[in-house]
Amino acid sequence: MAITAKTIMVQGTASHVGKSVLVAALCRIFVQDGYKVAPFKSQNMALNSFVTKGGGEMGRAQVVQAEAACVEPSVDMNPILLKPTGHASSQVVVLGRPVGNLSAQRYHTDYAPKALDVIEGALDRLRSLYDIIVIEGAGSPAEVNLQEHEIVNMRIARMADAPVLIVADIDKGGALASVVGTLELISPEDRDRVAGFIINKFRGDISLFKPAVDFLEMKTGKPVFGVVPYYQDFRIQEEDTVSEDRRWAEQVQDPGWVDVAVIQLPHISNFTDFDPLEDEPDVRLRYVGKGSRLGNPDLIIIPGSKNTIGDLAFLKRSGLASKIIGLHKSGTPVVGICGGYQMLGRELNDPLHTESEIPRIEGLGLLDISTTFAPEKVTTQVEAQVDGGGPLLKGAMGSLVTGYEIHMGRTELVSGASPAFTILMRSGEKVHYTDGAVSQDGMTFGTYIHGIFDNDDFRRTIINRLRRMKGYEPLEAALATPSVEQRHKDFEKLASVVRGSLDMDKIYSVLGLDGPKEGL
């Protein structure tokens, strides 16, 4: 196959310096400039994942970047996904399909070198289809203990013959030292591949930082491509952790607002399921974990988990389980998504130790369901009809929603529970399966469908039901910006900020391109 795409790679001095968001920004900028662009990350470790139209599982960060690039997500954009299952072990997903659970030691020494052929094949396929590939690294290339076996930083830069931009987070402090130290700890060959640096998350007067930029360029002999400000008036989805400023511990008392508490499980997955709720003008979304105050929210959501039984045990040890049950008894609605849905049931069984060494654990008992884990993993996009009733779902009955499934459990309804949804389409094929469950009083429901709150009318209906329970008038859906439209507005804002902060002429120069295509 013809390899035509230019490549550029974004690496960092550490994790969480903003690599994923800057890759998304560059993807949108290059699209604005007339290029066909794709993101790429050879190996991603994250619990926040997504299912493609073909039923493959991939990291959510590359899905966000693909959306920024205005292209359909493909597992080639993230050929290796590691989903931590416990201490020093992960489920390994290759080209969208799980191949098993491996310890960190076994993965790095035995499996990772074999994955290079998979990675190179995925990268070659993308390069034959696109003009530019924007590659993201992981952690830091200066982690000397991992350099021999790493398959995500400089080894990939060499494979792709990509110039490298090193990103440092100045908001954390020590940015200059981390840049200089990173260069010092990589090989001379890799040092030559570094084209320059980006200083990210800057606050304050940029003119006061110029002496530091001059020093860094003189010290390293490499240019600073730009200083990107710390932005707060828009949001790009997080990669794999809930940011600190979203972990509010107290209940909001503002009149007219709905207080939604998401339980922050130790192995929380797909927390971006709830970002659309945060975008609503009358919702305060907060994450509650160990040491946080649950208070008296208007809705409790138990999210997905990569270690459902272990996280359920955590809820019980921490006292959150008894608080959730107590609030439910006093009238607080509870919703469970995927692993959270399983936790709401009578029992969870794992006879084959698919997820845990614990063979059985009692659930929270809020839904009359029983779950048994199995080795086969369901990964599919779905379209479903809302069938459940009661105070929460009644207003949405009969409407259609879309989302995706990622789960290894099989759940059966027992006496007292009714299905919440009927799945009508799976990966483009007509089917007819029940999904989820609703309690007899209608105050609790669960589902395996991720992305359920991305459906604008469904989301607004649930919020308005909560508003009525508080004695508030409902708001029309038209008052809220549709989720997809809002995300693209945020990508445009991000691209504007980053374009205005970087020397794009230099970036095009290291790519070997003249700049925006003619006529734009």
Q: Residue 361 corresponds to which tokens in the numbers above?
A: 């654990």
Listed in sequence order, the residues at least 6 apart from 184 whose beta carbon sits closer than 8 Å to its beta carbon are 142
Listed in sequence order, the residues at least 6 apart from 104 whose beta carbon sits closer than 8 Å to its beta carbon are 88, 89, 90
Distances in whole angstroms, Cα of residue 518 to Cα of each of 7, 29, 33, 252, 257:
20, 15, 9, 52, 49
Q: Residue 220 corresponds to which tokens in the numbers above?
A: 């390293």
Q: Tell me the chain's radius of gyration from C-alpha atoms.
A: 24
Assess contact for 340 and 304: CB atoms under 8 A: yes
CA–CA separation, 90 vs 106, rounded Å?
Answer: 11
Q: Given the residues 27, 267, 328, 338, select the one marked as catalytic.
A: 338
Distances in whole angstroms, Cα of residue 282 to Cα of each of 98, 181, 258, 466, 487:
39, 46, 6, 11, 18
> Which sign does the torsion angle of CA 485, 487, 489, 495 carry?
negative
27 is catalytic: no
Q: Residue 261 corresponds to which tokens in the numbers above?
A: 């508490």
Assess contact for 79 and 151: CB atoms under 8 A: no
Strand partners, 169: 200
Categorise residue 139: left if φ over 0, alpha if ψ from -120 to 50, beta otherwise: left
DSSP element (H, E) containing 469: helix 456-469
* C-beta neighbour count of 161 within 10 angstroms: 11
Strand partners, 75: none
CA–CA separation, 79 vs 130, rounded Å?
Answer: 17
Q: Residue 438 corresponds to which tokens in the numbers above?
A: 């609703």
450 is catalytic: yes
Q: Given the residues 267, 328, 407, 450, select the one marked as catalytic.
A: 450
DSSP 8-state code for residue 23: H
DSSP element (H, E) containing 229: strand 224-229
Enumerate the active-site residues.
338, 450
